[in-house]
Structure 1
Amino acid sequence: MRAFFEAIQSLFVDFLFLPLDALRKLELSSWWFANIISWCLMAVCAYYIVYWCRQLKEHQDNNEENQDTTAHSFLK
């Protein structure tokens, strides 16, 4: 059983965490490049938030949204 857990440790430490170790070393020379993944994820999230808000506005302008409080039986 011990060999199984050591194999999992080896998988993560020796292979899967190598990109994160590289980012950690890169942070010492350039903070901006080390945080590029965070910046990309924030940009993607911001894009989809804007997209979602535009879709909500489009549905509201077309009167497709039922805003009546009696639309749900539990609100009666």
Structure 2
Amino acid sequence: MSKFFYGIEDLFVNVLFAPYDFFRFMGNWWGSNTINWMFFVIGFVAMIYWMNQLKIFNDNGEEDKSISSHSYL
């Protein structure tokens, strides 16, 4: 069973996180955190999109706002 976990370790350390080794040794903070900032921007855009979709459904009155929306409540 330990070989299974060593295989998972090898996959993440040597394959999936290998591109981060390039950024680790850069002297520039902005360059090192480029990927993190890209993830932040993507997440922020997704949150704005989700909030706009919720507002559209709320404005159309399609949301069930009754107190007992589910039978088990």
- TM-score by length of structure 1 reads 0.73
Tell me the equivalent position of 1:53.
51
Gap regions ≥5 residues in structure 2: none
How many residues are paired up?
69
- Go from structure 1 to structure 2 and tell me whether the alpha carbon gap of 1:60 and 1:11 turns closer, same or farther (over 3 Å shift): closer
Write the letter of the residue equivalent to 1:67. K
Tell me the equivalent position of 1:23.
23
- Go from structure 1 to structure 2 and tell me whether the alpha carbon gap of 1:72 and 1:33 turns closer, same or farther (over 3 Å shift): same
**Structure 1 position 20, deviation (Å):** 1.7
- TM-score by length of structure 2 reads 0.76
Once superposed, what is the RMSD of the aligned Cα atoms? 2.4
CA distance in 2, matches of 1:18, 1:32: 19
Aligned-partner SS, 1:43? helix
Gap regions ≥5 residues in structure 1: none
Aligned-partner SS, 2:35? helix
**Structure 1 position 18, deviation (Å):** 3.3
Identity across matched positions, percent: 37
Tell me the equivalent position of 1:66.
64
Tell me the equivalent position of 1:33.
31
Greater fraction of residues in helix: 1
Off by >6 Å, runs of 4+ in structure 1: none
The structure that has the greater radius of gyration is: 1
Write the letter of the residue equivalent to 1:61. D
- Go from structure 1 to structure 2 and tell me whether the alpha carbon gap of 1:61 and 1:10 turns closer, same or farther (over 3 Å shift): closer
